[in-house]
Structure 1
């Protein structure tokens, strides 16, 4: 199904430089937290709450995307937002199966609200960093 949503471009698969990819993947949330910490510390708390899920979901998906397509900021931002939605639905399922484990309101606010905003920002920052580190075409 994903192959139909993200079709291969000509000359694919593309080479993904591992150092540029890892630096952009880890550097995007850190850069957003560093430059946005004055906004009620929301980006700093986002590192704690959303950072592990970002690395688990976005790492393999962004790598798969970059092997198939030239990095496009809009597409990567939408992909990050879609990944956050998938993680949010999985967390809601976990809460429904084990209601005493998490508070539903916290999940809705943290991952549904702030997570959607932060994932889009992290995705766009990832794309900008990856382009600058790898000298990928724009």
Structure 2
């Protein structure tokens, strides 16, 4: 029986509690790890880190926080999520080019979005590996809220 003081139980699904330390270390460490392992490829990952890092932080952080509430954080799933998220961001390029009528924006934006999809998958995969490695056991099981 419930009263005004104790409301009835709402059947919330179990959710994961995000480990904040592991999350922020993985958030910064994922792109840095991938860049450190692959910088020798014509220095493209270094420029990708400079150009795509702010987009990764602004777009990726809320998406990762939203996704990790309900899912374990498997690196492959996160890589697919990164590809989908960057694909959605890449859809804004043709819209902006059509709105402004700038053909150069369309060409350069699609090239950067194509590279962005590759790096979004790689960075999200590295994020997932680091996050799963650093996450403490308390945060590895879904809990009822």
Q: TM-score, normalised by structure 1?
A: 0.82
Match of 2:49 in 1: 47
Cα RMSD (Å): 2.2
- Taking the aligned partners of 1:12 and 1:102, their CA distance within structure 2 comes to 48
Determine if contact 1:77/1:123 at 8 Å carries over to the other structure: yes
Determine if contact 1:37/1:44 at 8 Å carries over to the other structure: yes
Match of 1:74 in 2: 76
- Taking the aligned partners of 1:76 and 1:128, their CA distance within structure 2 comes to 10
- Taking the aligned partners of 1:17 and 1:102, their CA distance within structure 2 comes to 43
Cα 1:98–1:34, aligned 2, differ >3 Å: closer, same or farther? same
Match of 2:98 in 1: 96
Unaligned ranges ≥5, structure 1: 1-10
Determine if contact 1:53/1:87 at 8 Å carries over to the other structure: no
For residue 24 of structure 1, give the secondary structure of its aligned residue in structure 2.
Answer: helix
Match of 1:132 in 2: 133
Match of 2:7 in 1: none
Match of 2:85 in 1: 83
Unaligned ranges ≥5, structure 2: 1-12, 141-145
- Taking the aligned partners of 1:101 and 1:60, their CA distance within structure 2 comes to 31
- Taking the aligned partners of 1:26 and 1:91, their CA distance within structure 2 comes to 26
Cα 1:97–1:19, aligned 2, differ >3 Å: closer, same or farther? same
What is the total number of aligned residue pairs between the two structures? 128
Question: By how many angstroms is 1:92 displaced?
Answer: 2.5
Higher-Rg structure is: 2
Question: By how many angstroms is 1:13 displaced?
Answer: 1.3
Question: By how many angstroms is 1:93 displaced?
Answer: 1.5
- Taking the aligned partners of 2:74 and 2:14, their CA distance within structure 1 comes to 15
